[in-house]
Structure 1
Amino acid sequence: MEPSVGEDDVRVGDTDRPSDGNGPSALESLMKSSFGPVLIALGPAVIYVALSWVLFLALRPRIPRVYSPKALKGIQAPSELSSELPAGWITWIKPFLKISDTVLLDKGSLDSFLFLRHVKTLCVICVVGICFIWPILLPIHKTGGRIPSDLTIPTEDKTEKYYAHVVVCWFFTGFILFMVYRECVYFINIRHAYFLSSNYTQRVSSKVILYTCVPSEYLDEKRVRKLFGDSVVNFWAPNTTGKLKALIKEREKTAVCLEEAEITLIKRSNAARSMPQPFRITSLYTTCTNWIHRSRPVPKRPKLEDVEKGNIQNWTCERRELPQQDQSRVHVSESQGHSPVSTHTEYSHPCDLGLAFPETNNSPASQRLKYHQRPSHHVLSKLGRRVDTIEWARLHLKSLEEHINELRQEYQSGTGQPMNAVFNEFDSCANAQAAYQMPAHHQPSQMSQPVLGVRPGEIIWSSLRIKQWQRLVRQYVILVLLIIGVAIWWLPTYVVSIVTNPDFMRDYSPALATLPLIPAKILSGLGRAILLVVLLETVPFFLRACAKFTGEPTLSAVESFVQTRYFVFQVVQVFLAPSAIPQVIFQPTAVLKFWVPLSSSFYYTYILVQCLQASAWELLQFVELFRHQIKAKSSRTPQDGYKRWHKLNLVRWGGIYPVFTNVGVMAISYAFIAPLILAFSVTGLCCVYFVYKYNLIYVYDTKALDTAGAFYPRAVMQLTAGLYLAQMYLVGLFAINSAWVQMSLMVFLFISTVFIHVSLRNVINPLLRSFPRTLSHDGEGFDAAEDMVMADCTDDVSQTTFNSTAIAGHKSAQPDKGLVMTRVLRRLALPSVDDLQQLIPRTPLEKEFPD
């Protein structure tokens, strides 16, 4: 006996449940279709995106620091400045659309260029699916008979129509596997072209290899040089800093405290100077002192007439020094013919009692303030006694500097404990690549994971001291923790699904039960998708902490760790929702026959919310807008303002790639069940492409974290998860409907997909990490020719002009494309390494490690 449709499924609202027999209205009929709730949820999402666009168009020309910082000369280097766009509301869109993605290879990085290509690849897959799947499956789904929801796969007894799904699945699977292979080969070619360019080979970091888990006997420089030969130019074996690192942090903290105290003193002094004399507040200390000395005769000051007449025998006047700025006023008044005495007869020294502030009694700022008005704080080492902040910070910095110099001399002498890591700089990139590809140690897990091209800013220094056995223990602990985390994360997802279920709102929340139909559907459809998106956004922070605990040596390795695990979280939480897990165990046929097709309406909403929300959030830059327009007004020091102004946002690819890769997986998985999901996916991905292209060119710092595109092939390979999910669903559906021939064909396709996927990984993976010697040998002529061209260029010719001329010459040398079919074939053909070398910028060498 089949269960009622959506009876216990929390992901399917009551709009998908059978009618009660009373004649439904037009609105109820719309609600009962699979597309009605999506249209209702689409309204708020479109309004949110429209408001974000209006605010962006209005604020972009007014706040360039937030919306185009990479076009400002004070932030970016002259060679890295992005081209300025018109300041109008919509006049900038057309010039922006003309900018090619290859600009990111010069102004950005290979990672940013490949991310945009990944989004475009997903769009191409969806568009091809629309052109091929819709004409075949949509008529069948609409006229298939007894169906659980409109425009989804039919569940009828006439199984001969399932042959259409088998044929479509075979061709679409072949196309996706072709795209996976093509993009992997394209990545290999452009990565090799990138490694051969002078933009990479002239970097010092391209010749440096970091070895971790190094045995103690190979921490010696002589032994390492004997191991790698004469190609090693420099050798560094870092030692543990111990207390030195803590003292340096304390010195930085004390310096910031001193800077804040000095700024506070200046502000208070300026406020006291600008305040009118009658309105100045007299301190309690000054009032008491004046009362004690009230009976003492106060000497009268000579008037101007007495001074001019010379009657000053009975007058006593204390000579007082004028500040430097007041002396200048005296000279100015004398030069203008005025009497200097009349200008300063009302001047009174702020230190009437002769209080001497140590080292600051002559500064103008300290002379305008009383001692208790100076910045002060409580010090725990002096039993909480309040001390003057400026004087304490100066003395403390002096003592810290002496102690730091002593520890630094001990550190440079090699007395510290060495870490389990070494840095080797080689004389050429070819020798560095050869050392990188060759195993350095004969024992397993010893020096087995070298890192090539590492920069000092990417290194996690605390991870270098972790020993090999500690690293293995930590990895197993994190593995168990992640497995438990995936299971535990089902609980909040299940709670979100339950709370936003219409049945729950009707039974347990009388206030929500009285809501009209449309608001209730918005809450149950759009609200559920928003809560799920927000819940999954917290996962990358947890995974980054786990990666650092396992001992990943660089930030790039941390993001790679996050990308792999976060994709698993995305697939499990979205496709294997906890609402379906109990039903899979007890009623698997009902899940395949009813709940999986009906849940497609939820994924329509989820894709729209995920893509539109991400694009609107990234477009408007809420966080940066708050930092530069609100928080900037409360900057306590100029240093804070300088850092806030010059620091750009860092792109963390580990938390970005899995989100949109999962959108592609959802589109592929439901392409044969609910083909309309392809249209929603391509719409959302187009918005994501436009927004991220703008941000990567004008907003984000893409060069601080450079992995030479290592995230791209992993994301492309992860698309095969969508094929597996779609094929397994079709196999199960054909089995429960006794379509044995169709099921056999799908089982054969599933096995073939696994075989092709494994073979592709075995062929591609060696080329993803290694660098062929044939390209290294052939590339020497290219580098030599490039150096000659660079040397022949005159100084007055910009490098940008040189790049455009070279690319134009390369395009002009190509033969005429001719017919349309020829153009299509050229598009499908993979460009060679020589062709891709023309896209890599030939920028002049800049100082990578400034003094």
Structure 2
Amino acid sequence: MASLVGERATHAFLVPRASASSNTGSHRDSGSSVSALLSTLIPVLAVSAVLFIAFLIFQKKYERVYGPRTYLSSLRNWQKSPKRTAGLLGWKSEYQQLKDEFVLGHSSIDNYLWLRLFKMLAIMCFVGAVITWPILFPVNATGGAPGVNGLDILSFSKIQPGPRYYAQVFVSWMFLAFVMFLITREARYCLRLRQQYLASPYEKSRISNKTILFVNVPQEARNEEYLRKEFSDVKHVWLVSVPEDLAKKVEERDKAAAKLENGEIKLIKNHIKRENKRAKKEAKGKLEPRRVEEGREHIVNVEQKDRPTHRLPKLKFLPIGKKVDTLDWSRGELHRLIPDVAKEQNEARTDKSNVGGACFIEFESIYAAHTALNQAGLKNKAKLTPKDIGTPPQNVIWKNAVKPFAKFQLFNILCSAFVWFLCIFWTIPVAVIGAISNINYLTDKVPFLSFINHIPKVILGVVTGLLPVILLSILMTLVPIVCNILAKLYQPTQASVQMKVQGWYFPFQVIQVFLVTTFASGASSVVTSIINQPSQAPTLLATNLPKASNFYISYFILIGVNTAVMQLLQVVPLLFVLFLGKLLDTTPRKMFNRYVNLAGLGWGSLYPVYTNLGVIALSYSTISPLILGFAAIGFTLLYAAFRYNALFTLGTTVSTNGRSYARALQQLTTGIYLSEVCLIGLFAIGVGQTNQAIGPLVLQVIWLVATIVWHVWLNRSLKKMEQTLPEDEVVERIAQQNQDVEKAPNGESTKAVDSLDGRNDSIVKHPSTDNPNNERGFIGRVKGYFFPSTSASTAIWSIAPHLTSPVREYTPKEREEAYMHPAIISDPPFVWIARDKYGLSKQEIEASTKEVGEGLEITDEGATFNEKGKVEWNQEDVKSAPLWEDEVVY
């Protein structure tokens, strides 16, 4: 929101100062008033209060929505959170007692670092407010520039060019120096945390963390003998083949099985409804009771109308073809496809003639894998390129893994170009939205907008403050969807898709949500004056561009308050529990999957949104420091909401092993540069009016050069740290822990690590986890903060108890099939239907088994139809469900 609502003013602000005394008019004041701010704040707070009350009410009743991690039996014991006590006081107490590191030890490193992002941003903005407000508020407020009113007197706009610029320079130095330290600390902490996390017994015993995906494998290297000579300490090699014909048949087989399952449920449900109607008529005497002949086998007669049907598509996605009986068609397809698929699978297991240009290599240890990764990275990128490490098989996009290097590069160039095209195209609607925030300044040049002058203050405040924020949020939701679709066209893993989307979406956010909106908002507020006297454009823009920050004050209010409450409320899961699930989850399989699977976050589309908020706060930190206070509050609210979800509701769908957080830290430096460049530009404009601005301009240029030097040093130091895993540090900590065990009283510690092979490890639980030397109190916390590498080690080795135990031993079959194409190892489909009191499910199982033949598994165990024809299953005993299996942790 960048305009004052409803107050009358002269042209003094809108025209050059020389003629201000001779021009009057009916324009509204340009200053951002408290009333305009409240016009945005009050409706957002009102709606958020209602939503929060709804959360407090619903969280007592719907445990699956608001606390699945506390009880869900499908989770391993080490993944569960402590039981959440119902009611506000209960969950608040539990919420406050748990540390963030609990998420690291019981969920994932990505979820933990996601929380750390908001904590870091909140600290950054709070410290920024402490640094800037006591100095810049009085300096700005007494700056002497005429025509600046409302909250804008606290910004750079109020300062006339001169000595006061030095305050901007030195305060900027102090704050940005702290931000550089914060980014440096977090980057080093993140890197060491990732390394220590991978060095834990649990993580280093997983196959995926010792396995590298190589792409662009040349023809001569597509055999195991060659690869074992190329690398040392190789344990297992999987040559990737993508049997497209087999994969298509497997897909058809599974679709037919799904059709059969859904059809059987629909048939039994229709039959129950018909029988219920008949029973009501018999009770009223309208029908005679059905006779059952004794001595004959009971057969359930089904009306032809109750049998489900569907149409075979003549064209893909267009079901306009021949109408068929669903059950008969599905059984026929399964009878044909099951043995056919089994035969081709046996052939594909041994056929090495169609090996593609990718392979997975498992090494003897995680250290050997990272050594090979560093060595391979120095070779020709077009041959035997290491693409990813730590990717489980279910997150591989197989058709993309075997794409030739040239095709991969072509897709990368075209998709990136399209994203930049979107970025330019999106400028038009985003600019219009930015102009809406200052639309009242255009009324004298655009006649049909003159009615805006007569709009009530409150309504105009909503139009110029809240409406642009909502429109911008809606518009930007489309972009990450497009980015995901494009990335999945050629990236070989789900993690690389997320990283690519993050790389695309962040500059899009900065350009569209920040820069375009800023210039559109700032320029539209002075367009009338620029048209009248173009020579004054630099002065007017220097005065008014800082005022565009008022739009982002509204943005932080909306994002911080509304998004936080929506995260707590969990609208989509709640709607599924209330009524959507009853409409959509009609089979036992759908109910089971909905119940046992936890939702994860899409890092590629989420990180850029909130990193950009950090960039905005940094960019305006000096020229409009008021924004830092609202940003600190917004980030704190977001941290609290996401922390609750990370502790009690969230799972992890795709893991980047902390890389998305590391990239976000690098992207956050954009805010530092924009802040410095903005000040340099404003000082340069001031030089045109007085030579007193030259000194601040030179000093700020020097600081920009220093920032570049710092950034280069940071990247080099991180690259050096990344070259090796801290194996020596692990050994040293093990020795230290064993000494602590001998000194500690009984009950305070457990026995330390026996070996590094990942099979018999256990970790000491230190009384303190925030500092490297186990020192308590303020001094220990300070040391822990300023020594992030050791602090990261402490977080792993003392907070994450499940990481002390390795994954279970893999069976020979599991190890052999780990990175085979799913089509080659896919088992025959399993059909799960529900039992009914009439015996129709048993009759259908017999018919399906007879018609399909060997290979089909179908059962009605574990689920039943109730009297109303609704499917029910025992949620209290998930492991008794036919679909339950002990999932292999690769």
TM-score (norm 1): 0.81
1:196, 1:779 within 8 Å by CA — same for their partners in 2? no
2:60 corresponding residue in structure 1: 61
SS at match of 1:267: helix
Instruction: Give 1:808's match in structure 2, choosing from 757, 767, 772.
Output: 767
1:377 corresponding residue in structure 2: 310
* Closer/same/farther in 2, CA of residues 226 and 375 from structure 1, 3 Å limit: same
Residue type matched to 1:153 in 2? F
Deviations 1:493-538 (A, max 9, x none): 1232345634679954788775422112112111111211222222
Q: Identify which range, 407-416 or 112-121, moves more after superposition.
A: 407-416
Instruction: Give 1:558's match in structure 2, choosing from 473, 497, 504.
Output: 497
1:552 is displaced (CA, Å) by 1.6
> Are 1:408 and 2:345 matched, yes or no?
yes
1:288 corresponding residue in structure 2: none
In structure 2, distance between residues paired with 1:737 and 1:146: 13
> Are 1:745 and 2:699 matched, yes or no?
yes
1:220 is displaced (CA, Å) by 0.7
1:162, 1:742 within 8 Å by CA — same for their partners in 2? yes
In structure 2, distance between residues paired with 1:131 and 1:494: 33
Deviations 1:701-733 (A, max 9, x none): 12x422221122221222222221121122122
Instruction: Give 1:195's match in structure 2, choosing from 183, 195, 198.
Output: 198
Between the aligned residues of both structures, percent identity stands at 27
* Closer/same/farther in 2, CA of residues 349 and 535 from structure 1, 3 Å limit: same
In structure 2, distance between residues paired with 1:753 and 1:383: 64
2:65, 2:573 within 8 Å by CA — same for their partners in 1? yes
2:156, 2:543 within 8 Å by CA — same for their partners in 1? no
1:21 is displaced (CA, Å) by 9.2
1:826 is displaced (CA, Å) by 5.2
In structure 1, distance between residues paired with 2:715 and 2:280: 83
Residue type matched to 1:56 in 2? F
Deviations 1:627-660 (A, max 9, x none): 2322211223111111111221121112222222
Instruction: Give 1:675's match in structure 2, choosing from 625, 641, 645.
Output: 625
Deviations 1:329-375 (A, max 9, x none): xxxxxxxxxxxxxxxx954369xxxxxxxxxx97744x2x2334322
Instruction: Give 1:536's match in structure 2, choosing from 476, 490, 498.
Output: 476
Alignment of 1:134-533 (within 5 A): 134-146=133-145, 148=148, 149-154=152-157, 156-157=159-160, 159-229=162-232, 231-276=233-278, 279=281, 347-348=290-291, 364-365=299-300, 367=301, 369-379=302-312, 386-414=323-351, 417-439=354-376, 442-498=379-435, 501-502=439-440, 507-508=447-448, 515-533=455-473
* Closer/same/farther in 2, CA of residues 740 and 636 from structure 1, 3 Å limit: same
In structure 2, distance between residues paired with 1:395 and 1:782: 66
> Are 1:733 and 2:682 matched, yes or no?
yes
* Closer/same/farther in 2, CA of residues 784 and 408 from structure 1, 3 Å limit: farther
Residue type matched to 1:746 in 2? Q
Alignment of 1:94-113 (within 5 A): 94-113=93-112
1:765 corresponding residue in structure 2: 719
Residue type matched to 1:568 in 2? P
SS at match of 2:206: coil
SS at match of 1:166: helix
SS at match of 2:385: coil
2:377, 2:386 within 8 Å by CA — same for their partners in 1? no
In structure 1, distance between residues paired with 2:738 and 2:249: 49
Structure with larger Rg = 1
1:830 corresponding residue in structure 2: 788
Deviations 1:114-169 (A, max 9, x none): 22222111111112112221111101111111153321114554611211111111
* Closer/same/farther in 2, CA of residues 618 and 504 from structure 1, 3 Å limit: farther
Residue type matched to 1:721 in 2? T
Q: Which runs of 5+ in 2 are unaligned?
A: 14-26, 525-529, 688-692, 742-748, 815-886
1:41 corresponding residue in structure 2: 40
1:424 is displaced (CA, Å) by 0.9
Residue type matched to 2:576 in 1? R
Deviations 1:374-396 (A, max 9, x none): 22334468995544322221122
Residue type matched to 1:838 in 2? S
Q: Which runs of 5+ in 1 are unaligned?
A: 1-9, 23-27, 282-344, 351-360, 794-798
In structure 2, distance between residues paired with 1:438 and 1:124: 39
Deviations 1:302-326 (A, max 9, x none): xxxxxxxxxxxxxxxxxxxxxxxxx
1:686 is displaced (CA, Å) by 0.7
1:327 corresponding residue in structure 2: none
For these two proteins, the number of residue pairs brought into alignment is: 752
1:340 corresponding residue in structure 2: none
In structure 1, distance between residues paired with 2:463 and 2:774: 59
Bigger relative CO (Cα 8 Å, ≥ 6 apart): 1
Q: Identify which range, 428-437 or 685-694, moves more after superposition.
A: 428-437
In structure 1, distance between residues paired with 2:12 and 2:507: 43
1:613 is displaced (CA, Å) by 2.7
In structure 1, distance between residues paired with 2:417 and 2:50: 44
SS at match of 1:650: coil
1:684 is displaced (CA, Å) by 0.5
1:57, 1:90 within 8 Å by CA — same for their partners in 2? no
1:17, 1:32 within 8 Å by CA — same for their partners in 2? no
1:31, 1:37 within 8 Å by CA — same for their partners in 2? no
Q: Identify which range, 503-512 or 462-471, moves more after superposition.
A: 503-512
SS at match of 2:43: helix
* Closer/same/farther in 2, CA of residues 565 and 82 from structure 1, 3 Å limit: same
* Closer/same/farther in 2, CA of residues 257 and 162 from structure 1, 3 Å limit: same
Deviations 1:194-225 (A, max 9, x none): 12211211112121111111111111111112
SS at match of 1:449: strand
* Closer/same/farther in 2, CA of residues 780 and 247 from structure 1, 3 Å limit: farther
2:240, 2:402 within 8 Å by CA — same for their partners in 1? no
> Are 1:83 and 2:82 matched, yes or no?
yes
Deviations 1:429-481 (A, max 9, x none): 22222212112784332223331111012111121121001011111112221
In structure 1, distance between residues paired with 2:709 and 2:770: 40
Residue type matched to 1:807 in 2? H
1:16 is displaced (CA, Å) by 9.0
2:125, 2:628 within 8 Å by CA — same for their partners in 1? yes
> Are 1:605 and 2:538 matched, yes or no?
no
1:70 corresponding residue in structure 2: 69
1:831 is displaced (CA, Å) by 5.1
